[in-house]
Amino acid sequence: MILPPERDSTGRFVKPEQEAPKPSDEHTHPMAKLLFGWVESPRTPLLLLLIVALIAASLIVADLIIGREVKDKYQAIAFTQATGFYAFWGFAAFATAVLSGWPLGKLLRRDEDYYGEADTKPNDVESDS
């Protein structure tokens, strides 16, 4: 027996409370499991963060090891020879690009009531007034 969908006082459909179904592996290709199965681990974000931090730290250490005479030959601006300059410059540029999305979104986004308030109550629901 199929029950009709429930509606709230405004006439909108209300989904019944139910637990989210667990994804099944029956439709996943075995090669996809082999290549991307490691992504399902709860430790993956921390592991990726640690890898990026280690790469960044090793690049700064490499910047310390490389001789100043090598860097002097290729640099036209003096402050670019500072240790870790390009790491900090890249981080600042990326952070600026990401954070500029917030004011740009505010500038370009339409208001929530851009299309006006339409009467969206279904015909088969009685009005309260």
The residue type at 66: I
On whether the CB atoms of residues 96 and 88 are closer than 8 A, the answer is no
Parent domain of 54: 46-107
Tens digits of per-residue pLDDT, 35-62?
A: 988 888 899 999 999 999 999 889 888 8
Provide the Cα torsion 102, 107, 113, 115; round to 10°.
Answer: -120
- 32 lies in some domain: no
- 57 lies in some domain: yes
Q: pTM here?
A: 0.45
Per the structure, how many domains does the chain have? 1
- 12 lies in some domain: no
Helix (H) / strand (E) containing 13: strand 13-14
The pLDDT value recorded for residue 70 is 63
- 66 lies in some domain: yes
- 114 lies in some domain: no
- What is each CA distance from 48 to 11, 15, 37, 56, 89, in whole angstroms? 46, 37, 15, 12, 22
The pLDDT value recorded for residue 94 is 94
The pLDDT value recorded for residue 109 is 86
The pLDDT value recorded for residue 83 is 75
- 60 lies in some domain: yes
The pLDDT value recorded for residue 116 is 66
Taking the C-alpha atoms of residue 129 and residue 122, their distance in angstroms, rounded to an integer, is 15
Query: Could you say which residues of the chain have pLDDT below 50?
Result: none
- 99 lies in some domain: yes
